[in-house]
Chains A and B, each alone.
Chain A
Amino acid sequence: MERGAKEKNQHLYKPYSNGIIAKEPVSLEQEIQEMRRGGAEPEFDMSDIFYFCRRGVESIVDDEVTKRFTAEELESWNLLTRSNYNFHHISTRLTALWGVGVLIRYGILLPLRVTLAFTGVGLLVVLTSVVGLFPNGRIKNYLSDKVHLMCYRICVRALTAIITYHDSENKPKNGGICVANHTSPIDVIILASDGCYAMVGQVHGGLMGVIQRAMVKACPHIWFERSEVKDRHLVAKRLSDHVADESKLPILIFPEGTCINNTSVMMFKKGSFEIGCKVYPVAIKYDPRFGDAFWNSSKFGMVNYLLHMMSSWAIVCSVWYLPPMSRMEGEDAVQFANRVKAAIARKGGLADLLWDGGLKRGKVKEVFKEEQQKLYSKVLVGSSEDRSRS
């Protein structure tokens, strides 16, 4: 199964069509030119409203943003109930097959994986604490790397994640920041099992807190208190301090800020791009046929999610290391962020959207409406100016 999955990874992932309507990518200008084909010059016509009206109703039926926050639908079923909305009884044979699948997944695969997971996490905590006892120096760094890598690889096996790494010559180096698109918390494990990174995150309590404290003993990670997160300057300072120190590991950051369902890349927050060091982009693309890795945090809690992951067939994904990028002269942080985002989207075969992942929970900014108004007025008023001149 592993070999078969690895071979399939060579092809580019087919973009799955989730839509229920066919949207024509016709721009505003084209529509208006078409409507005026009678030869008259463009000026306001009562029918101009049709364009906006139709676009509005199209978005009521099917919009680009909401469907990024629910798991992808598959065209053909992979025997996991959760990946098919319209699940209804088709035939006895298929249900029997599904039943056998359930037995295998929950009876055999799940217990094996849970045991591995506990082993992996347990080892991580114990060994990093042991390494922490060593004095700072080359031996400590070497041991810490080995320990981290080993434990993450056990965790990877615990999820039966089959990962294909491409272009490893571009792997992130010390003194840089690694940015990647975010689909699930597993992204961290996937990347960290191939290289050593400094993690960034909030300080948690409970089991996560124990893991965080243990990890920090072996090598420096950046954990923020909840109150510190709001202070952007403090965050930026700590990040740049870490990056300036060449002996420290590259920082791993997910600029989207939230989990997206792996069909697109949403707006990158500019914070990490303001620091002014080398950025190593990484694209992660999951193959949804074996198990959907997307974490819908509004629907499922963390434990539920991990259970889903461990009872899927496998997690198959591809990781592409892209060549490092730096901010160019005259480019501001937002433009730089968009450039990196486009590169990641292109490599991973994902749609490049300008929407903010924060829209999962928040409101649209007025500036987007103004863009539409600007476009329309350019077509109308711009052309009537031509007329008055001639």
Chain B
Amino acid sequence: MGSTSSTLLKIPNAEVLMQETGFSPAHIIRLHDRFKALDKEGRGYLCPQDFGAIKELAMNPIGDRIIGAFFSPGKETVDFSTFVKILAHFRPVDKDRPKEPNSPEPINSRSNKLKFAFQLYDQDKDGKISRDELLKVLRAMLGMQVTEEQLESIADRTIQEADLDRDEAISFEEFRKSLEKVNIDHKMSIRFLR
């Protein structure tokens, strides 16, 4: 369909967004429509309740954490730019992008995807996943289906395996190391159509 440029003009900072995130014009338009659909009151930004209205997300055991990932600490609203930039983490990795030495790392690099997942665990943002934080995530994913002891044993075993410097917590580097063999690109990517 021609004339996508006229709709693109209505979106603020579209050019900049496309450059930073690597989304195509069609994707940006689609995401903008989605943003407007979620922003039911048409205020131009989203708040946690707008995300909470998505039924499938409310059903997700770690739904609250994912919603939290969109809001920077202290901020209560998400504008379209931030929305798109966070979603950009889930773009599949560009395999044939030339490695320019001075360009910043793309948002959807393997490392950034890992950082996104790391912050889902590390809620107090101190750079480490403590035993407590791990327990909280396990509790969220398993609910009442397992006993407290089972949870604790799973947590202890995980920390034992991943914690290399023996400080009873998992730093980002240890996290990255333990996931060396996992195909992050596949697991943390969403295939955008068109």
Contact = CB atoms under 8 A, between A and B. Distances in A.
A48 B154 CA distance: 13
24 contacts: A19-B193, A22-B191, A35-B182, A38-B181, A46-B175, A46-B178, A47-B182, A49-B62, A50-B182, A50-B187, A52-B141, A53-B62, A53-B120, A56-B62, A57-B190, A59-B54, A62-B34, A65-B56, A86-B29, A88-B4, A90-B2, A355-B55, A373-B141, A381-B142
A355 B182 CA distance: 34
Interface string B5-38: 0110000000000000000000101110110011
B154 A380 contact: yes
B60 interface: yes
B63 interface: yes
A328 B190 CA distance: 43
B143 A50 contact: no
Contacts of A86: 1, 7, 29
B45 interface: no
Contacts of B59: 364, 368-369, 371-372
A66 B170 CA distance: 38
Contacts, number: 156
Contacts of A378: 145
A326 B71 CA distance: 52
Given A21-B190, A85-B33, A64 B3 contact: no
Contacts of B107: none
Interface in A336-390: 355, 359, 363-364, 368-374, 376-378, 380-381
Interface in B153-174: 154, 157-158, 162, 170
Q: How large is the interface on A (under 10, 10 to 19, 20 to 34, 35 or more residues)?
A: 35 or more
B194 to A, nearest CB: 7
Given A52-B60, A54-B189, 7 more contacts: A21-B190, A49-B62, A50-B187, A52-B61, A55-B56, A64-B56, A376-B141
Contacts of B191: 21-22
Nearest to A67: B37
Contacts of A53: 62, 66, 116-117, 120, 188
A47 B187 contact: yes
A333 B51 CA distance: 34
B172 to A, nearest CB: 12
Interface of B: 1-4, 6-7, 27, 29-31, 33-34, 37-38, 51, 54-63, 66, 87, 90, 116-117, 120-121, 137-138, 141-146, 150, 154, 157-158, 162, 170, 175, 178-179, 181-182, 184, 187-194
A310 B133 CA distance: 59
Nearest to A362: B55
Contacts of B143: 369-370, 373-374, 377
A359 B158 CA distance: 38
Contacts of A56: 57, 60, 62-63, 66
Contacts of A21: 190-193
B141 A57 contact: no
Contacts of B33: 85
Contact of B37 (A47, A58, A66): A66
Contact of A373 (B3, B55, B137, B142): B142
Q: 8 tightest CB-CB pairs across the interface, nearest first? A: A373-B143, A377-B145, A59-B56, A50-B187, A56-B66, A364-B58, A368-B59, A22-B191
A44 interface: yes
B154 A20 contact: no
A169 B117 CA distance: 58
